[in-house]
Amino acid sequence: MGTRTMVVQAVEAIPRVPPPRCRSTAVWPVVAMPLRACAAFAGSERYTFLGSALGTRPGAPGPFDLAVIPDTEPSPLYGGAAIDREEASRSARQAARDALFHAELVVGRTLRMPLRRFNITYKPADVDHFDSYGSVYHHLKLNAAWGTIVVSHGNVLINRNFSELTVAAPSRRSGATLHGKGWVLKLSPRAKIVADPKRPGSYIIRMRPTAVTK
């Protein structure tokens, strides 16, 4: 019986059980998929038999060494330490970003606008998911019954069911045009700004009733 036949039989004889959580730093020819990153086989009879069939023994240096590293340690082969540092940095940036959104669009002074029928254009690459509140858009143009809002390098929150739009309270007003941090809103003739009954210091947009002609 040739070595190749013995390897195939040895692989087929291994039970199909879920491998433990570990990852390999070596790629085995022929047996990489069945035994990759499987520390449970190290020192077992099947591992010893397979090592004998391949002309080596467990733990001995050679092309078929099985090297495993626990998940708690970064893999030096694939730059695990650098990946962990990048993930930690990304998590820190996201936490800081969400804190800014929360202060500006949730607990700060705001202007809320209802969304019923509207047209919207935006840059998909400039949208951030914001927990359970919805998504924050940084470049956007939206037309609705209350007017048109254009956002450039600003923060606009649209809730999850697209029924409301929120921006930080405007800093100034010139007639029917309101200006805020990174956005400009042009009100339609029927739209009016009123105090938000749920949030002191904030505002909402209401629509005046349509005039009835006789």
Q: Which residues pair with 174 in a beta bridge?
A: 177
Q: Which residues pair with 177 in a beta bridge?
A: 174, 186
The 3-state DSSP class for residue 183 equals strand
- For 62-94, b/e burial (b = at least 16 CB within 10 A) is eebebebbeeeeeeeeeebeeeeeeeeeeeeee
**Tokens representing residue 40 in the block:** 């449970």
Residue 149: per-residue pLDDT: 98
What does the pLDDT look like over 49-75, one tens digit per residue?
A: 444 444 545 555 555 444 544 555 555
Q: Note the Cα 139 to chain centre separation in Å.
A: 19
Lowest mean pLDDT among 13-17, 154-158, 172-176, 192-196: 13-17
